[in-house]
Structure 1
Amino acid sequence: MKFSSTLLTCLLASSTVFSYTLNKRDDFTDKLKESQGDIDKQMEQMKEEMEKMQGSMGNLPTGSTPELPSTNTGSTPELPNLGSSTNSTSPTDFTTTSNTSFGQLQNSDVFNEECQKVIAEYYSCLPKKMTDKNYDECCNVYNSEKCVNIYKKKLSENDACKNGTEDVEKQIAMMSGLMDLSCAKHNGKYCPISKLNKEGKEITQSTLEDTCKSQECLQKGVSGLEASKQWVQMALDVQNKVSEAFSHQKRANANTTPQEAVSKIDGYLNELKSEKCSAQAASGAISLKAGNLFVLSLGLFLYYLL
């Protein structure tokens, strides 16, 4: 999810990416006509909220439609276009110049010039688009010494960005968590959860137990799952703003609701945060496709929407 302007801007701009099956479209159209007035009213309210959010987040520049992850769990879903130049054709062109999409913060009244440069540095570590073909390259950039040092500090800990950056700081932390889930390494090798995510395989109890063997893998696993949970909860928040006519229209290939996704992610977190984790004494099996986790965390925004 190019991540442009605010979250809700992304959601509405990318609505054309999703489609409904033909056998549901007639029913959908009827419901749409019946509740068009309510929908228009709610959309207007959402538009007003977006305008308010743009001001609080520094009016981040708008771009083209976000590239949402594939629902094909056989391949690695694509991460949003986050950091590189809008003119670049390379998915991993992590330029930090003024050509960087997030370097061109439009509202200079909100972020001073020095803070804009700092924010651009954070986003320069995030991939334009992450696929199975450039997965390692994206992770190498994110795990580089330069980017590790950048992310050691919260945005507000930089002298140039002391005030008024709370929303952007949360956004950066969330995306960093998702990258931790994808790219965590220990002794130069992918951590268990990151390895399975790269391969599109299932996370099992043994994967969680192996994660507990490394403090670094455990820390980043928890960080990543918490970020995923935040994404899903944000999707739920948006869903609640949309009329009943839309809220019951599931995508044809979706088989997990956002509520179920939150519950499953909570299961992972409970396991990794428990005493059983360090003792490696858990029993039973918890299974969810790693590829699906990204679909849940990055692609459920429009699960019930347009």
Structure 2
Amino acid sequence: MSAVVDNTNHTFHPTVFILKAIPGLEKIQFWNSMPFCIMYMMSLGGNSLLIILIWMEQSLHEPMYLFLAMLAMSDILLSNIIMPKMLALFWFQAGSISFQACITQMFFVIFIFITESTVLLAMAFDRYVAICFPLRYTVILTPSVIGKIAGFSVVRGLVMTSPFVFLVERLPFCGNNIIFDTYCEMSKISKLACADITANSIYTLVVSFLSTGLDVLLVSISYVFILQAVFRLPSRDAQLKALGTCSSHVCVILMFYLPAYLTVTVSHFDYGVLLSNLYVVVPPALNPIIYGVRTKQIRGFVTSRLSWLGL
């Protein structure tokens, strides 16, 4: 393995890492690439269309849809960071990736995951205010507040993710440089080091608790209050209408968090790699479909434009 030496801290870094796709499925990896490529195109097309619709339609300039545009932007970034290299690996066996490129990819994957989790929390807060304090909705969620939430989600992601780069950079790599995955995942990079990675593991647990763990707890609490408010509504129709406004958000939350925790549980199995790869491409592809189908305003806007075009 070729490596470079950093004379300032005497650590050895490999010149390149070698990505090895999905263990056990190497012979059919070209055909495996087809659904990944389709979902990549769906993610780019669907999320881009969603952002354009929200930008063009004045009636969609509301907190709920602005948060949805942030989610769509995060999904586009995540897809573009992972999918081009993944498809190059599947199609051309281009598994070589430089050390710095690998660390950069790792950084952005973690950063976007934390940012997207923050946006989902903000969307839960939006539904909480809309249902529990409907008369104060526009007073609480002003454009200024939405801007601050967007800024906070980015700053939170940067602050929590940046130490990971230092923790990996300090490790000496003096053995295997093969990563059995299609992208640079934090734990798999750390396990290649010939040094104690306890600090990496502890920080990963801390960040997991302070980001997704805390977000899941707060989202759950918000929905407890939401359900209490819904069941106090006088009519069943009003209750169903209120719950309907939350359905898309609940679907996206379940699709975001449940596969993530399942991926961690089965990551030590070969097919856990396949699941982790599906996790980073399926939600970005399906999120715009879920919101497009289940959100009346977006569905109506698309239908009216298609009718105008004579389709």
TM beyond 0.5: no
Report the TM-score, using the length of structure 1 for normalisation: 0.30
When Rg is computed on C-alpha atoms for both structures, the one with the higher figure is: 2
Higher relative contact order (CA 8 A, sep 6+): 2
